[in-house]
């Protein structure tokens, strides 16, 4: 993996300063580690200590989340870091950043933006996706219009420039601003850029055939790897230590998974938001693009996931928030309704069944709003069950426990309904903030450098 070797991007000065840092910080009892989450609606900062205890959290909400530019991200990150309490600033040891999956842009050799930003939910690159699907193997995560590889092809076609030097994801851009090095990325962000996470290399021949200059591709390392020290000028501007270590982050959804504490084979996390997303720790990778299933490398294990189009968003079509609040305490989780619903907002499903023509099933509707409400929750719980069964069918391990995140995780009756369906332990998530998961990566990178000794 010579093309991805960190030795190529470390200078002797960096190595020497790292050795000095090790000697000066081993005895530091007040060491802090920061995680930044660039989410869909805002930017959040979490700071923890070496015992993983949270000492500081802060958020800046985007006024217009549908119109994001790199300067907005950097302004938010800068303001959050500048506002840190002095004690934390002085003892901040490392930082890691997560960002939305598939969001990509191009920058020049100095890190100046040279293209538009194509966000995680931008699906314009359909022609490019078809080209990728024909060329890339089935187990490559770069397939589909939701991948950063398709978006990169679109940018190169519609916004060509000789100034383009680096293709960067959202998290990569902030890492570059902090370290003044825009060559670096992590395996999780690069999965959708076509990086082969199984062989840990770029499929260069196929990338070339797509017309992507290899010089644009980042040097890829695993999430939670210390790769650089903060750029001296940025350290001064932000009021941070010049010894601050920059650690590779991940995507926002994986950072949220890490935050829950799920880390053993068989541990699963269900996200109960607008849509239903399942993730499971596996000892083997699984790829099934027709089901939207792909695998991320996470430490020495794999994170297998799938996402249904069903989810809590369908409830908004039938109930106000006030109605939901009033009905929830009346739910009878141990007395099933017998309604066989498939709660889609509109036609089409991707996981656990791949059927573009699948239609919502929300009838017959009973006269009782309570029974209708519970029937929908049971329907989503059944899809969750079928989803984990599909992962098992494709080679994933048996689910041993499930943690929950998202708004629906707060509904205790729904949790019981799901427990009845899944027949596994429902564990409480240690944390649910993605920024906490990134802070854990910052701590991981620092620990592996040997700077902390218990």
**What pLDDT score was predicted for residue 450?**
46
Q: Are residues 280 and 320 in the same domain?
A: yes
Q: Which residue has the tokens 């794999």?
A: 302
Question: Does position 6 have pLDDT exceeding 70, yes or no?
Answer: no
Q: With cut-offs at 50, 70 and 90, classify the pLDDT of residue 279.
A: very high
Task: Considering only residues 170 and 307, tell me which one the structure prediction assigns the higher pLDDT.
Answer: 170
**CATH code of 384's domain:** 3.30.420.40
The region of weakest confidence among 22-36, 167-181, 329-343 is 22-36
- CA distances (Å), origin 164, targets 186, 288, 334, 450: 20, 33, 59, 37
Q: Is the pLDDT of residue 10 over 60?
A: no
pLDDT digits (tens, 9 = 90+) for 365-377: 999 999 999 999 9
- Averaged over 70-90, what is the pLDDT? 97
- Burial of residue 234, with CB atoms counted within 10 A of its CB: 0-12 exposed, 13-18 middle, 19 or more buried: middle
Answer yes or no: is 404 within a domain.
yes
Closest Cα to residue 336, out of 396, 254, 421, 256?
A: 421
User: 190 and 242: one domain?
Assistant: yes
The per-residue pLDDT for 1 is 38
CA-based R_g, the chain, Å: 22
- Of 226-230, 278-282, 431-435, 448-452, which gets the smallest average pLDDT? 448-452
Q: Count CA atoms closer than 13 A to 174's CA, side-chain side.
A: 29
Instruction: Kindly indicate the confidence band of residue 453, based on its pLDDT and cuts at 50, 70 and 90.
Output: very low
Does residue 213 fall inside a structural domain? yes
53 and 101 part of one domain = yes
At residue 65, does pLDDT exceed 90?
A: no
What's the mean pLDDT in 407-412?
Answer: 91
Provide the β-strand partners of residue 307: 277
Q: Tell me the mean pLDDT in the region 405-417.
A: 93
Residues 6 or more apart from 446 whose CB is under 8 A from it? 31, 33, 93, 94, 226, 245, 247, 452
Count: domains in the chain: 2
> Is residue 282 domain-shared with residue 237, that is, in the same domain?
no
Q: What per-residue confidence (pLDDT) applies to 28? A: 66
CA distance 169 to 323: 41
Let me know: does 187 contact 407? Beta carbons within 8 Å: no
Entry pTM: 0.86
Residues 6+ apart with CB under 8 A from 42: 59, 60, 61, 62, 65, 76
Tell me: do 208 and 337 sit in the same domain.
Answer: no
Shared domain for 108 and 191, answered yes or no, is yes
Q: Is 213 a residue whose pLDDT tops 80? A: yes
**Residue 453: inside a domain, yes or no?**
no
Q: Is the pLDDT of residue 22 over 80?
A: no
Confidence of residue 103 (pLDDT cuts 50, 70, 90): very high
Q: Could you list the residue range(s) of the whole structural domain that residue 396 is in?
A: 262-429
CA 273 to chain CA mean position, Å: 15
Cα separation, 392 vs 338, in Å, equals: 26
Among 61-65, 110-114, 423-427, the range scoring the smallest mean pLDDT is 61-65
pLDDT at 3 over 80: no
Please check whether residues 271 and 249 belong to one and the same domain: no
Task: Return the closest-CA partner of residue 39 out of 99, 79, 123.
Answer: 99
Q: Which one is predicted more confidently, 144 or 221?
A: 221
Is residue 406 included in any domain, yes or no? yes
Interatomic CA distance for residues 231 and 45, integer angstroms: 20
Both 286 and 342 in a single domain? yes
Domain match, 241 and 386 both: no
What is the number of alpha carbons within 13 Å of residue 287 lying toward its C-beta? 15
Distance CA 179, CA 103 (A): 20
> Looking at the structure, do residues 211 and 89 belong to the same domain, yes or no?
yes
pLDDT of res. 406: 86
The pLDDT of residue 79 is: 98
Domain identity same for 25 and 161:
yes
Mean pLDDT computed over 239-243: 97
For 81-132, strand residue ranges (E) read: 92-99, 104-107
5-19, 286-300, 359-373: range with highest mean pLDDT: 359-373
**422 with 294, same domain?**
yes
In a domain, 67, yes or no: yes
Q: Could you report the per-residue pLDDT of 139-180, keeping only the tens digit for each?
A: 899 988 889 999 999 999 999 999 999 999 999 999 999 999
Residue 405: which residues within 8 A CB-CB, separation 6 or more? 256, 260, 269, 270, 271, 272, 429, 432
What's the token pair of residue 50? 């070496």
Burial of 442-451, coded b for 16+ CB within 10 Å and e otherwise, reads bbbbbbebeb
pLDDT level of residue 350 (50, 70, 90 thresholds): confident
Mean pLDDT confidence for 249-255: 94
The token pair at 200 is 């840990």
In a domain, 217, yes or no: yes
pLDDT number for residue 4: 41
Structural domain includes residue 454: no
């Amino acid at each position: 993996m010579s093309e991805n070797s960190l030795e190529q991007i470390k200078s002797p000065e960096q190595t020497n300063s790292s050795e000095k840092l090790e000697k000066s910080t081993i005895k530091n009892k007040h060491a802090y580690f920061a995680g930044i989450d660039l989410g869909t609606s805002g930017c959040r900062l979490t700071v923890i200590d070496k015992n993983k205890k949270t000492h500081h959290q802060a958020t800046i909400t985007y006024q217009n989340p549908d119109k994001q530019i790199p300067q907005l991200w950097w302004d938010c990150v800068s303001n959050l870091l500048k506002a840190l309490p002095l004690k934390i600033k002085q003892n901040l040891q490392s930082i890691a950043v997560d960002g939305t999956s598939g969001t990509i842009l191009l920058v020049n050799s100095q890190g100046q933006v040279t293209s538009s930003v194509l966000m995680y939910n931008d699906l314009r690159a359909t022609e490019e996706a078809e080209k990728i699907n024909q060329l890339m193997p089935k187990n490559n995560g770069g397939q589909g219009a939701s991948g950063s590889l398709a978006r990169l092809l679109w940018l190169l076609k519609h916004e060509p420039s000789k100034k383009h030097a680096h293709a960067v994801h959202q998290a990569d851009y902030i890492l570059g601003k902090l370290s003044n090095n825009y060559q670096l990325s992590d395996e999780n962000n690069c999965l959708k850029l076509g990086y082969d996470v199984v062989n840990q290399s770029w499929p260069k021949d196929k990338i070339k055939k797509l017309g992507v200059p290899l010089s644009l591709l980042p040097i890829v390392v695993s999430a939670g790897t210390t790769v650089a020290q903060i750029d001296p000028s940025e350290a001064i501007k932000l009021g941070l230590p010049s010894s601050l270590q920059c650690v590779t982050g991940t995507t926002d959804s994986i950072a949220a998974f890490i935050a829950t504490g799920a880390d053993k084979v068989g541990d699963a996390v269900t996200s109960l938001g607008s849509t239903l997303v399942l993730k499971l720790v596996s000892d083997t990778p699984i790829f099934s693009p027709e089901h939207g299933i792909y695998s991320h490398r996470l430490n020495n294990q794999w994170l297998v996931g799938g996402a249904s189009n069903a989810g809590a968003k369908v409830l908004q079509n039938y109930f106000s928030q006030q109605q939901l609040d009033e009905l929830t305490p009346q739910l009878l989780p141990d007395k099933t309704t017998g309604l066989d619903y498939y709660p889609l907002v509109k036609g089409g499903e991707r996981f656990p069944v791949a059927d573009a023509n699948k239609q919502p099933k929300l009838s017959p509707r009973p006269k009782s709003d309570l029974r209708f409400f519970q029937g929908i929750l049971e329907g989503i719980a059944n899809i969750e069950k079928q989803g984990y069964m599909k992962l098992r069918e494709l080679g994933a391990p048996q689910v041993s426990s499930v943690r929950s995140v998202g708004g629906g995780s707060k509904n205790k009756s729904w949790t019981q309904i799901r427990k009845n369906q899944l027949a596994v332990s429902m564990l409480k998530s240690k944390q649910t903030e993605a920024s906490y998961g990134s802070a854990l990566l910052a701590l991981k990178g620092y620990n592996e450098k040997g700077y902390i000794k218990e």
